[in-house]
Amino acid sequence: MRKVYRGRDIEVSFDLDICIHVGECLRGEPAVFQLKRRPWVLPDAGRADAIAEVIHRCPSGALQYRRLDGGPDETHAGTTATPIKNGPLLVVGEIDVRHEDGTVERLPRATLCRCGESRHKPFCDNEHLRIKFRAPGAQLKIHLTPVRPQEDEPIKKADDPRG
């Protein structure tokens, strides 16, 4: 379920169900994104352009934004799909994803399951870590954080402090 955090200049939304815990948000704008604070996202604590840049680095589409200041919303010239080494398929562009319940959501970015073991298909839920899935692809930088203290173990949604 997507939660919305509205600021003056930008609205940020977050969907914990599709987050793969790469950690870009927590290292990109620490005044805006803080785990130990409620709400954990304060859009007015940063510049809209800087917040948008951090959100662009979120591979899963868990973080999205909508500009309220007339600045540009996220757009893509086309759609690309990049296999991530030992992990999901990273898709960037205008993506219509059909959920298991039949609903369709349009995302600007998504990490889709490639190992077949996700419990939240079509999205990756990091189960590839548990089964030690191996496949070629581009390297994805993982930033260790209190949400993801170990690079090689999946995180349960219940263990994420943003939930």
55-109 confidence digits (pLDDT tens): 999 999 999 999 999 999 999 999 999 999 999 999 999 999 888 788 898 999 9
The secondary structure of 58-94 as a DSSP string is: -TTSSEEEEESSSPPPP--SS-EEEEBTTS-EEEEEE
| pTM, entire model | 0.90
Cα separation, 81 vs 131, whole angstroms: 23
Under the banding of pLDDT at 50, 70 and 90, the label for residue 152 is confident
Residues whose CB falls within 8 Å of the CB of residue 135, separated by 6 or more in sequence, listed in order: 83, 85, 86, 87, 114, 115
Of all residues in the chain, the percent with pLDDT exceeding 70 is: 99
What's CA 53's distance to the chain center, in Å?
13
